[in-house]
Amino acid sequence: MNNDGLAINLVGESIEVVLDAACYSLDIAQRAAIKFTDLASFEFVAAPKQLCVRIQMFADAGVAATRLAQVFRNELLDQALRARIFEETATERNLILAHAFSRSRLASQS
Instruction: Give 76-101 pLDDT, tens digit per residue.
Output: 999 999 999 999 999 999 999 888 88
Distance from the first to the final alpha carbon of the chain: 62
Would you put residue 72 in left (φ > 0), alpha (ψ -120 to 50) or beta? alpha
pLDDT at 15: 92
pLDDT at 103: 75
pLDDT at 46: 92
pLDDT at 91: 92
Look at residue 109 and tell me whether its pLDDT is greater than 60. Answer: no
Which domains are assigned to the chain?
Answer: 6-102 (3.30.70.60)
Mean pLDDT of 35-50: 94
